[in-house]
Amino acid sequence: MKALLISHDSQLYAELASQGAARVPPLKMAANRASMRDALDRPVAEPPELLIIDASDATAGDVDLLERLARTYPSASMMLLGGQQQPDLLIRAMRAGVREVLPLPLVHRAFHEAMDRIAATAGKAALRDGKVLAFIACKGGSGATFISTNFGYALATLADKKVLLIDLHGQFGDAALYVSDQKPQMTLSDVCSQIARIDGPFLESCLVHVAPGFGVLAAADDPAQSREAKPEHIDTILRVARQHYDFILLDVGRQIDAVSLRALDTTDTIYPVLQLALPDIRDARRLLDIFRSLGYSLENIRLVVNRYEKGGKLRLQDLHSALGAEVVHTVPNDYIAVTDSVNQGVPVLQLARTSAAARSLAELVEMVTARRVPESKGLFDRLFGRGDSDY
């Protein structure tokens, strides 16, 4: 954690620096300003997470400065040192957002207790509230694995989201191979067999890391091992995952079992993937019937049509009327780009970013994240436009 200390007392600075360095994780005095006015005149470029304000010389008139400081660093916690002799100052300081007031000279134990409280609150605020999205193939080979893995990569790289993909295939899971050449060291069944250890860092350590914000938890490659996974394990994994990732994508195999069913129960949106052909539509109908019988709301089920080609005999409208669920997205048939990507284990967006398949995945990212980008210069322009892209 980085702190800005506002004090002209160099001894206090040294004392806080050494107490801060002894903490785990350390508290670093990243900057020092002599007074509140100095801090307002010379704002710190990288916003601190904590303001420590020496109020031993402060007067009631300084509260305005304190309020301005709180507005300048809205996400920082505030700690006031000294100033107890001025109740008026303290009340207004509390109103300005100061949560900790400690006397001077500093009592080290009280300082560390206050820091523990600040760290706990900051930790809670930093927890994410991830969404779980499941991709499920209506028929073998519909493209659920290609779409979920490549969509995960696109979400992480284009929208800067922290994404986890869990391969829920009980057998023959291959999601990691679609976007990486690394052999998974740990799989879903390893996580399940050590479920008591689970927390954010442990989960992260079990992933195949595809991109800085994107990891895949591979399926067990041995069917005997896959039995390690129990429905209650998946509940725990998803609960922890929601706290640490923005999106958790599930690649659900066609064989719905007790584990994938439990995962689907808590999924925010289910994306059945199908191609526009009668056998796929028949299987999609069966799948939707199962979802209905399980009491899932159709509102949370959104069809994705893969390998879509305009002008075919079957139209999207026919699909809508046959299945009664909304088609939210189509991914075009893009044989060369997709086959190259799948064969090489490199995300299509990385391998062929102007391909039709990559563009379609970028569109899906825009839709799912509902990014508000100016019309003249949307994600598309920045991604595929001339060399001024942010991505």
DSSP helix/strand/coil, 191? helix
Residue 131 C-beta: closest distance to ligand ATP, Å: 21
**What single letter denotes the amino acid at residue 255?**
Q
Which region, judged by CB under 5 A, interacts with Mg ion, from 49-57, 75-83, 143-151, 361-369? 143-151
In order, the DSSP letters of 60-93 are: GGGHHHHHHHHHHSTT-EEEEES-TT-HHHHHHH
354 binds ligand ATP (CB under 6 A): no
In order, the DSSP letters of 275-316 are: ESSHHHHHHHHHHHHHHHHTT--GGGBEEEEEEE-TT-SS-H
Binders in 361-380 for ligand ATP, by CB under 6 A: none
5 binds ligand ATP (CB under 6 A): no
Binders in 214-273 for ligand ATP, by CB under 6 A: 253-254, 273
Radius of gyration of the chain, Cα coordinates, nearest whole angstrom: 26
Please give the Cα distance from 379 to 376 (Å, whole number). 10
Strands 302-308 and 269-275: parallel
Q: Which is nearer to ligand ATP, 142 or 189 (CB)?
A: 142
Q: Which is nearer to ligand ATP, 145 or 180 (CB)?
A: 145
DSSP helix/strand/coil, 140? coil
Binders in 123-142 for ligand ATP, by CB under 6 A: 137, 140-142
- Contact partner at residue 307 from ligand ATP, Mg ion, none, CB < 5 to 8 Å by partner kind: ligand ATP
187 binds Mg ion (CB under 5 A): no
DSSP helix/strand/coil, 28? strand
- E-assigned strand segments in the chain: 2-6, 28-33, 50-54, 77-81, 100-102, 131-137, 163-167, 208-211, 214-217, 247-252, 269-275, 302-308, 326-332
170 binds ligand ATP (CB under 6 A): no
145 binds Mg ion (CB under 5 A): yes
146 binds ligand ATP (CB under 6 A): yes
189 binds Mg ion (CB under 5 A): no
Single residue of 203, 237, 342, 349 touching ligand ATP by CB under 6 A: 342
Interacting residue ranges for Mg ion, rule: CB under 5 A: 145
Binding site for ligand ATP (CB under 6 A): 137, 140-146, 253-254, 273, 306-307, 331, 333-335, 338-339, 342, 357
